[in-house]
Chain A
Amino acid sequence: MVLIKGGYLVDPGNKREGVFDILIADGKVIKIEKEINQDAERLINAQGKFILPGLIDMHCHLREPGREDEETLLSGSWAGIRGGFTTLCCMPNTQPPIDNQGVVEYIYNENRKIGLIDIFPIGAITKNREGKELTEIGELKRAGVVAISDDGNCVMDSEVMRRAMEYSKMFDLLVISHCEDINLSCGGLMNEGYISSILGLKGIPRQAETIMVARDLELARLTQARLHIAHVSTKEAVELIRQAKKEGIKVTSETCPHYFSLNEETILGYNTNCKVNPPLRTQEDIEAIKEGLRDGTIDVIATDHAPHTDFEKDTEFEQASFGIIGLETALGITLKELVETKIITLSQLVERMVLYPAKIVGMEKGTIDIGEPAEFIILDLHKSWKVEKEKIVSKSKNTPFLNWTLPGVIEYVFAKGKMVLGNTN
């Protein structure tokens, strides 16, 4: 038995917030009470600390199968744990892509062997993510995908996207859209504007995102399907989604920590760790995204964790891969940029990083319940930590947040009933 004393529990899914003791036996939570006095093999003093349900990332890239030099299900699991995540949804741009039952089963089987945290695959919308022919969506669903997306690629053909959304309705399967008009962004490397012009780098106009957000919202109106807009980066997209929600369109959306903490100017000097798609935008966009997170237009904070090796990043800017790792820094950046600045409360952070992602993809997770396996983190908000390359456990180190000092040290992580990270001090 493990007894956790005196932690401040933030569990908005159960509308429970306050100081509670938690008792765990055989990996399951058996008591949550104001005061539990019981002998336990292990006693954790959580006084002054916060207990949150394990974070859920509905958008990350774990690279297995195919690019195990960048990340694996195992290394991604540890990166997740270090960042407080106990559930990951991995995108289908693997090699081969998750466009058939075989790859879905591979991921489930491999992760069963690893056994640290839950990993749920997201299936492709179209075969080979080419935007032409639908995958066998029903079979993918039966194999266990929690959503479909061609992430990284936008389904450019509106008819194909319409049919994907329409067809998925019968499985109540979420369609996640990577909104990018690739004819407009063609070959672009960063946000288009003064900074791209100074650097002589081809720009991606913000309209490459907003045009496709507008299209997909209209297709959601047409098909009545559930649509989720991935990695919102522009203020216009926030406004389109806000309007669509008012009109009753079934849309949810996410953004990532780098879209509310970094602007395009961080690329000056050709910093390839800031090369990401969609690109980092302007301060105005950052403010609009923060407002969208505050008022609930943006439901979810996801990482879009996109690992790349040093040799893929330490190169000419135009040659460098797009992407930023985020599993280990997402909570810290969100605490720093949104909670410390009082844009959202800690409880709202849990909604956006746990409760809503669980609801949107339809998994029964995200709360701390009696009788269920222990799955939560213990967080010390009085402490801070520095992002250092040597300490990153992801196989890839492509983060623009090196040397940032972030609030909140994760002292314990319980996942699937087991303590997978514990304070050794």
Chain B
Amino acid sequence: MVNWTGKDLLGLEDLSKEEIELILERADSFKEISLRPIKKVPTLRGKTVVLFFFEPSTRTRTSFELAAKRLSADTVSISANTSSMVKGETLKDTVKNIEAMKVDIIVMRHSASGAPHLLAKTVEASVINAGDGCHEHPTQALLDMFTIKEKKGKISGLKISIIGDIAHSRVARSNIWGLTKLGAEVTVCGPPTLIPQGIEKFPVKVTYDIKEAIKDADVLNILRIQLERQKSNLFPSLREYALNFGIDLEKLKFAKPDVLIMHPGPINRGVEISPEVADGPYSVILEQVTNGIAVRMAVLYLVSQKSK
């Protein structure tokens, strides 16, 4: 078994297959803690975790906070509107001040791709990327993979389709790197305006045909469509998007009988996913959220082995 060597977790592109498997194995052993009546172990007692969120987030922030608390770490939460960033302080200065308060792990979400990388170069504390711009969202992909493995027993050899705004999705990128490293076959599907340039060099298949993406897929990972994309003419209307790419019971007729429906949330009911599908028998959307805590406990634990 490999040892964890990194100070930070910035993205899945940088990780080896073995490192990803290590996180998933750790998560498996941590999952049980959340099912106990007293949901707490002393693993990170005395460690301080700062949750530094420059973008609105409910799910990810809460999930990290609970993960840290269940490991007995102390947590501090800072969001963009309460920090001094609004006073014109640079990101680096803000973070150096926080580090001067002797923290061990900084979990950061930021709208700028690469912001956690800048942070990781600046501070000695471990940095966990909780989503950076359109770049990566590694813990989301890890919890997606954990859920797939739990439900399907494996990842290698599965056919997984990611549907929606691939171009602007950090979830898609992290999933592509993680899943393909573990041997899955990934297809991305969306309108050409939402497929990134240079996709032919990514280890994925591309289709604009939703039926093609659904047929034969073991897992459909449906991405949230961001309403502001419509303003840049990336698609004409939400209605048209829903007609072409929204997953509803009609389109699901082409799916395999044991297909898994996943979504990183928050969902736009009736846009990228119909309520019947989101709440239906194939959906594991809420289980993803549950697993998120276990995966984040594993990541916090592993990076803390390296943090000073």
Task: Show the binding face of A for B, using Cβ within 8 Å.
Answer: 192-203, 205, 269-270, 311, 314-319
Contacts and interface: CB of A to CB of B under 8 A. Distances in A.
A316 B196 CA distance: 21
B113 A200 contact: yes
Given A311-B90, A315-B92, A318-B133, A196 B198 contact: yes
Contacts of A269: 117
Contacts of A205: 197
A180 to B, nearest CB: 18
A158 B136 CA distance: 40
Interface residues of B, number: 25
Nearest to B232: A186
Q: Does more than half of chain A's interface fall in helix, strand or loop, or is it mixed?
A: loop
A193 B113 contact: no
Interface string B106-131: 00001011110110000000000000
Interface of B: 13, 90-92, 110, 112-115, 117-118, 132-136, 167, 170, 173, 196-199, 201-202
B113 A197 contact: no
- 3 shortest A-B CB distances, which residue pairs? A194-B198, A200-B135, A270-B114
Contact of B197 (A193, A270, A314): A193
Nearest to A202: B134
B196 A315 contact: no
A200 B170 contact: yes
Given A198-B13, A199-B135, A200-B170, A316 B114 contact: yes
Contacts, number: 67
A241 B197 CA distance: 27
6 contacts: A192-B198, A199-B114, A200-B114, A200-B170, A270-B114, A319-B112
A199 B13 CA distance: 10
A221 B182 CA distance: 58
Nearest to A186: B232
Contacts of B13: 198
A316 B115 contact: yes
B112 A318 contact: yes
B118 A203 contact: no
A195 to B, nearest CB: 7
Nearest to A194: B198
A201 B115 CA distance: 12
Contacts of B110: 316
Contact of B112 (A194, A195, A314, A317): A317
A318 B113 contact: yes
A193 B196 CA distance: 8
A202 B134 CA distance: 9
A193 B198 CA distance: 5
A201 B113 contact: yes
Contacts of A317: 112-114, 118
B118 A197 contact: no
Contacts of A318: 112-113, 133
Nearest to A318: B112
B134 A200 contact: yes
Contacts of B134: 200-202
Contacts of B173: 198, 200
B90 A200 contact: no
Contacts of A270: 113-114, 117-118
